[in-house]
Amino acid sequence: MKIYTKTGDKGNTALIGGRRVPKHHIRIETYGTIDELNSHLGLLRDGAIDIHYKDILEIIQNNLFTIGAALATDPEKVILKNGKNRLNISKVNSSDIQLLEKEIDDMNIELPEMTHFVLPGGHQTVSFCHIARCVCRRAERIATSLNEVTPLESEILVYLNRLSDYLFVLARKLSQELSAKEVKWIPKKQLRETD
């Protein structure tokens, strides 16, 4: 497979199905951000974390590739003339969402109750997790914008929403396991005009 094709040299790219769109098209921005998120999750998975989290992150990375493939497909050419789906792969579904929810619930049981927002940081691995969470939120925002233009499978939006929740709780769990201090965000009190 040749790495460079030169077909994108003028600022456009092909969707699966052949239609060419500008590289700044919201569909490209959406699956590009999913790809960016996937890379951050790879960085997190490469860290010194429990094998269980590594396994879950690998499942998530595979699901993000599935979502990326769905987003990279021209919605007008998903169904072939013979009635079959162009992408012969399983979609992200409710069981994938339920896995994230189960993981969130299992981690939350072992965490202290949250009384304040927490500042990202405390340990490099925790920070990587927070960066992934932020990229996930951005992917979700862009996906909801795309959904207003061309409706997406509802499971994609739910999955991204639940994934950002999972990454937040995972960051807290990693803080606990790595003995990193969770720094609470305490808002400064507004000065009164008489002060």
| % pLDDT > 70, the chain | 82
What pLDDT is stored for residue 26 in this prediction?
Answer: 87
The residue type at 12: N
The helix or strand, by DSSP H or E, that contains position 34, with its residue range, turns out to be helix 26-45
Beta bridge partner(s), residue 16: 73
The helix or strand, by DSSP H or E, that contains position 61, with its residue range, turns out to be helix 51-71
For 182, left (φ over 0), alpha (ψ -120 to 50), or beta? beta
What pLDDT is stored for residue 187 in this prediction?
Answer: 85
Say whether pLDDT at 81 is over 70.
no
Q: Which CATH class is domain 23-184?
A: mainly alpha
Q: Are 136 and 37 in contact (CB under 8 A)?
A: yes
What is the crossing angle of helices 94-109 and 51-71, to 10°? 150
Q: How confident is the model at residue 7 (pLDDT cuts 50, 70, 90)?
A: low
Residue 20, C-beta contacts closer than 8 angstroms, at least 6 positions apart: 12, 13, 14
The pLDDT tens digits of the residues spanning 21-56 come to 656 778 889 989 999 999 999 999 999 999 999 999
Q: How far is CA 141 from the centre of its chain?
A: 11
Instruction: Give the C-alpha separation, 152 to 154, whole Å.
Output: 6
The residue among 143, 177, 9 whose CA lies nearest residue 67 is: 143
Domain ranges for the chain = 23-184
What pLDDT is stored for residue 90 in this prediction?
Answer: 81
**Mean pLDDT, rounded, of the chain:** 87
What pLDDT is stored for residue 85 in this prediction?
Answer: 59
Instruction: Give the C-alpha separation, 53 to 133, whole Å.
Output: 15
Q: Are 40 and 97 in contact (CB under 8 A)?
A: no
The pLDDT tens digits of the residues spanning 118-163 come to 889 999 999 999 999 999 999 999 999 999 999 999 999 999 999 9
What pLDDT is stored for residue 105 in this prediction?
Answer: 98
